[in-house]
Amino acid sequence: MAAAEDSGIGGAGVSEGLQSAGVRINALLTEAGLAPVDGVLAERFENYLSLLLRWNARMNLTAIRDEEGILRRHFVESIACARALPAGIATLLDFGSGAGFPGIPIALCRPEISVTLAESQGKKAAFLSEAVRVLGIAATVHSGRAEVLHNVFDCITLRAVDKMGIAVQSAARLLRPGGWLAMMTTGKELDALKAAAGAEFAWMPLAHLPGGEDRLLAVGERKISLPA
């Protein structure tokens, strides 16, 4: 599967405090068999982490609250997703974005993609708006249910969304013909989610995600017409 890659490590211009978290991110990426991010991108992930921790102290953005858990489960898994998405994607909807995973890491790692972060909970949408502003990424926030959007996208990502099967059905309707549906899920849920997406998807080989032993990325292309 074609994918965009980040360049190697380059720590110039990153402060001591930022460097330490960048080192931890890159150590986890290396542990997962993935290439490290460069120094500039590591600093931007540091800023994202700092903002997330400050907001998470006041509201429940993510159930995982310790830095190491956030880096391992959210950041590294989302970076892996960003790199695994096919080339040629111009627009992407992060359906039920929550604290911005995987949408914000995709916007950071794949700046050629215009990302829409859809989140129906007002406080989380406010966090996403602040993250977009602070990080200066090519993303917009839709504060509301993704289902009401009228435009279509080249790619839609879903991760830990409530009522995931129903969400997958809604997401499939927002994809252009030839677009990509990317589901971050588990082996236990995979078959049901593929069935929810419908028969017009052709699925790429599964990618294993570093967030856990059973974590998978399923990417399917929406075919223009079904085979006879």
Residue 15 pLDDT: 41
Q: Which residues, listed in sequence order, are joined to residue 202 by a DSSP beta bridge?
A: 221
| pTM for the predicted model, two decimal places | 0.89
Residue type, 179: G
- Which fold is adopted by the domain 16-222? Rossmann fold (3.40.50)
Mean pLDDT (10-residue bins), the chain, 228 residues:
40 44 92 95 95 92 87 95 97 97 98 97 97 96 95 96 93 96 96 95 95 88 70
- Degrees to nearest 5, angle at CA 23 with 211 and 100: 45
Closest CA to 61 of 108, 97, 94, 21: 97
**pLDDT, position 127:** 98
Query: What dihedral angle (degrees, nearest 10) is formed by the CA atoms of 163, 220, 93, 145?
Result: -20
| Integer angstrom CA distances of residue 73 from 63, 131, 139, 198 | 11, 19, 22, 29
Question: Angle at CA 42, nearest 5°, toward 127 and 84?
Answer: 85
Write b or e for each residue in 11-34: b if 16 or more Cβ atoms lie within 10 A of its Cβ, otherwise e: beebeeebeebbebbbebbeebeb
The pLDDT, as a whole number, for residue 11 is 38
Per domain, the residue ranges of the chain are: 16-222
Nearest by Cα to 76 from 140, 29, 136, 138? 29
Look up residue 139 and give its two tokens: 């993303």
Query: What pLDDT is stored for residue 225 in this prediction?
Result: 59
The pLDDT of residue 213: 74
